[in-house]
Protein backbone atom coordinates (compact mmCIF):
# COMPACT_ATOMS: atom_id res chain seq x y z
CA UNK A 1 0.00 0.00 0.00
CA UNK A 2 1.15 3.53 -0.83
CA UNK A 3 0.49 6.59 1.34
CA UNK A 4 0.33 10.06 -0.19
CA UNK A 5 0.69 13.07 2.12
CA UNK A 6 -1.32 16.15 1.19
CA UNK A 7 -1.17 19.53 2.89
CA UNK A 8 -4.31 21.49 2.16
CA UNK A 9 -3.97 25.29 2.12
CA UNK A 10 -7.55 26.37 2.91
CA UNK A 11 -10.73 25.16 4.58
CA UNK A 12 -12.22 23.96 1.31
CA UNK A 13 -10.23 23.01 -1.76
CA UNK A 14 -10.04 20.39 -4.49
CA UNK A 15 -6.43 19.25 -4.94
CA UNK A 16 -5.53 17.63 -8.26
CA UNK A 17 -3.63 14.45 -7.32
CA UNK A 18 -3.68 12.90 -10.80
CA UNK A 19 0.08 13.24 -11.37
CA UNK A 20 0.86 11.86 -7.91
CA UNK A 21 -1.31 8.80 -8.58
CA UNK A 22 0.21 8.32 -12.04
CA UNK A 23 3.72 8.33 -10.52
CA UNK A 24 2.69 5.68 -7.99
CA UNK A 25 1.17 3.54 -10.74
CA UNK A 26 4.48 3.68 -12.64
CA UNK A 27 6.43 2.77 -9.50
CA UNK A 28 4.09 -0.13 -8.75
CA UNK A 29 4.89 -1.95 -11.98
CA UNK A 30 1.22 -2.86 -12.44
CA UNK A 31 0.55 -3.08 -16.17
CA UNK A 32 -3.03 -4.35 -16.18
CA UNK A 33 -5.10 -4.27 -13.02
CA UNK A 34 -6.67 -1.67 -10.81
CA UNK A 35 -6.07 0.50 -7.81
CA UNK A 36 -8.29 1.72 -5.04
CA UNK A 37 -7.65 5.23 -3.79
CA UNK A 38 -9.01 5.69 -0.26
CA UNK A 39 -9.36 8.76 1.95
CA UNK A 40 -9.61 7.85 5.68
CA UNK A 41 -10.96 11.21 6.84
CA UNK A 42 -14.57 12.07 7.72
CA UNK A 43 -14.30 15.66 6.49
CA UNK A 44 -12.50 15.00 3.20
CA UNK A 45 -13.31 12.97 0.13
CA UNK A 46 -12.16 11.98 -3.33
CA UNK A 47 -13.68 12.27 -6.78
CA UNK A 48 -12.91 12.01 -10.47
CA UNK A 49 -13.98 14.96 -12.60
CA UNK A 50 -12.87 17.36 -15.30
CA UNK A 51 -9.31 18.67 -15.03
CA UNK A 52 -9.06 20.68 -18.27
CA UNK A 53 -10.80 23.78 -16.93
CA UNK A 54 -10.07 24.79 -13.32
CA UNK A 55 -13.36 26.70 -13.11
CA UNK A 56 -15.14 23.33 -12.89
CA UNK A 57 -13.55 22.83 -9.45
CA UNK A 58 -14.69 26.30 -8.42
CA UNK A 59 -18.22 25.53 -9.63
CA UNK A 60 -18.31 22.23 -7.72
CA UNK A 61 -17.17 23.88 -4.50
CA UNK A 62 -19.63 26.78 -4.94
CA UNK A 63 -22.51 24.38 -5.59
CA UNK A 64 -21.65 22.29 -2.52
CA UNK A 65 -21.52 25.45 -0.40
CA UNK A 66 -24.93 26.51 -1.69
CA UNK A 67 -26.45 23.06 -1.13
CA UNK A 68 -24.81 22.58 2.30
CA UNK A 69 -23.97 25.90 3.95
CA UNK A 70 -22.25 25.89 7.34
CA UNK A 71 -25.37 26.54 9.41
CA UNK A 72 -26.00 25.69 13.05
CA UNK A 73 -26.02 21.90 13.01
CA UNK A 74 -26.21 19.84 16.22
CA UNK A 75 -22.63 18.56 15.91
CA UNK A 76 -20.64 20.66 18.39
CA UNK A 77 -17.40 20.96 16.39
CA UNK A 78 -18.98 23.34 13.87
CA UNK A 79 -17.94 21.29 10.85
CA UNK A 80 -21.06 19.28 10.07
CA UNK A 81 -21.14 20.80 6.60
CA UNK A 82 -17.71 19.24 5.99
CA UNK A 83 -18.96 15.80 7.07
CA UNK A 84 -21.96 16.03 4.73
CA UNK A 85 -19.87 17.23 1.77
CA UNK A 86 -17.35 14.43 2.34
CA UNK A 87 -20.17 11.89 2.38
CA UNK A 88 -21.45 13.22 -0.95
CA UNK A 89 -17.99 13.01 -2.57
CA UNK A 90 -17.25 9.58 -1.14
CA UNK A 91 -14.20 8.09 0.51
CA UNK A 92 -12.79 6.05 -2.38
CA UNK A 93 -12.50 5.64 -6.13
CA UNK A 94 -11.36 2.63 -8.13
CA UNK A 95 -9.20 3.12 -11.20
CA UNK A 96 -8.61 0.63 -13.97
CA UNK A 97 -4.94 0.38 -14.91
CA UNK A 98 -4.32 -0.53 -18.53
CA UNK A 99 -0.90 -0.64 -20.18
CA UNK A 100 0.63 0.80 -17.00
CA UNK A 101 -1.59 3.93 -17.03
CA UNK A 102 -4.80 4.90 -15.29
CA UNK A 103 -7.79 4.47 -17.56
CA UNK A 104 -9.28 7.97 -17.37
CA UNK A 105 -11.41 9.89 -19.82
CA UNK A 106 -9.74 12.59 -21.90
CA UNK A 107 -10.70 15.40 -19.53
CA UNK A 108 -10.74 13.49 -16.23
CA UNK A 109 -8.51 14.04 -13.22
CA UNK A 110 -8.41 12.71 -9.66
CA UNK A 111 -9.20 15.16 -6.88
CA UNK A 112 -8.68 15.09 -3.14
CA UNK A 113 -11.51 17.19 -1.70
CA UNK A 114 -10.83 19.08 1.53
CA UNK A 115 -13.79 20.43 3.48
CA UNK A 116 -12.29 21.17 6.92
CA UNK A 117 -8.76 22.43 6.39
CA UNK A 118 -6.15 23.51 6.31
CA UNK A 119 -4.79 20.14 7.38
CA UNK A 120 -2.20 17.49 6.71
CA UNK A 121 -4.04 14.59 5.12
CA UNK A 122 -3.31 11.08 3.90
CA UNK A 123 -4.53 9.24 0.84
CA UNK A 124 -3.98 5.48 0.53
CA UNK A 125 -3.51 3.63 -2.74
CA UNK A 126 -3.87 -0.16 -2.91
CA UNK A 127 -2.94 -1.93 -6.14
CA UNK A 128 -4.86 -4.95 -7.41
CA UNK A 129 -3.12 -7.13 -9.97
* Confidence band, pLDDT 50/70/90 cuts, at residue 93: very high
- The whole-number average pLDDT for the span 60-86 is 87
At 43-52, the pLDDT tens digits run 999 999 999 9
* Confidence band, pLDDT 50/70/90 cuts, at residue 121: very high
CA distances (Å), 99 to each of 37, 96, 129, in order?
A: 19, 10, 12
Q: 11-50 in b/e burial notation, b at 16+ Cβ within 10 A?
A: ebbbbebeebbbebbeebebeebbbebbbebebbbbbbbb
SS3 31: coil
pTM summary value:
0.93
pLDDT above 90: residue 65: yes
99 conformational bin, left if phi > 0, alpha if psi -120 to 50, beta if neither:
left
Residue 29's pLDDT is: 96
Given a contact cutoff of 8 angstroms between Cβ atoms, the answer to whether 104 and 22 are in contact is: no
Amino acid sequence: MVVLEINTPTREVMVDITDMVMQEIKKSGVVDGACVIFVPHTTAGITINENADPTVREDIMAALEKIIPNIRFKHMEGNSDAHIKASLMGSSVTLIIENGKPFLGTWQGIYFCEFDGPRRRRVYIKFLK
